Amino acid sequence: MFEGRLREGEPDVSVFYVSPKTGWSVYISIPTPLFNAPMFRAAWIAAAGGAVSIALAATFLALLLRELQLRRRDAATLENAQRLEALGRLTGGVAHDFNNLLAVVSGNLELLERRLPGAAGHRSIAAIRGAVERGVSLTRGLLTFSRSGLARARSRT
């Protein structure tokens, strides 16, 4: 196989072969652009395939990164909701316990009011009753917070 030129001056690729059985010889000449065309076409197809592969890989990586970000965000949202729910439960439990203590104090105040005659005892009892009422108001606020915290936590999950 060798390169040469046709009579018209165009470059060509030639092949010369002698048959061992017959002794006959064969000479084939193909213009170089025609000979190289399949190779160039294959190179272009390979380059295009490589470019498409790279584009697909980049798209896949972008989608994967996006999915990871969404999962992290969802995990953080769930964690915040769980914290808020735990805080709501804790607040509700403390408020109920505190309310029970205030009920005991309030009940004993009523008993004391019946047993203690006189204005001096009633002023002290009134001051204690005012503190109990502020405590009841505080526990209502805590219970409201615990319910709204639980509702917010449940709406986020």
Distance separating alpha carbons of residues 140 and 111, to the nearest angstrom: 25
* Tens digits of residue pLDDT in 26-52: 988 888 989 899 999 999 999 999 999
Contact 48, 61 (CB under 8 A): no
More confident position, 146 or 22: 22
Distance separating alpha carbons of residues 68 and 52, to the nearest angstrom: 24
| Residue 24 pLDDT > 80 | yes
* Tens digits of residue pLDDT in 51-79: 999 999 999 999 999 999 999 999 999 99
- Residues contacting residue 129 through CB under 8 Å, at least 6 positions apart: 106, 109
pLDDT reported for residue 150 = 54
Relative orientation angle of helices 119-156 and 32-115, to the nearest 10 degrees = 160
pLDDT reported for residue 85 = 86
pLDDT reported for residue 157 = 52
Name the residue with tokens 């046709």. Answer: 6
Distance separating alpha carbons of residues 145 and 76, to the nearest angstrom: 22
pLDDT reported for residue 120 = 62
The secondary structure of 26-44, three-state, reads EEEEEEHHHHHHHHHHHHH
Let me know if 94 is exposed, middle or buried by CB neighbors in 10 A (0-12, 13-18, 19+): middle
* Tens digits of residue pLDDT in 87-124: 888 888 888 888 889 999 988 888 887 777 666 667 77
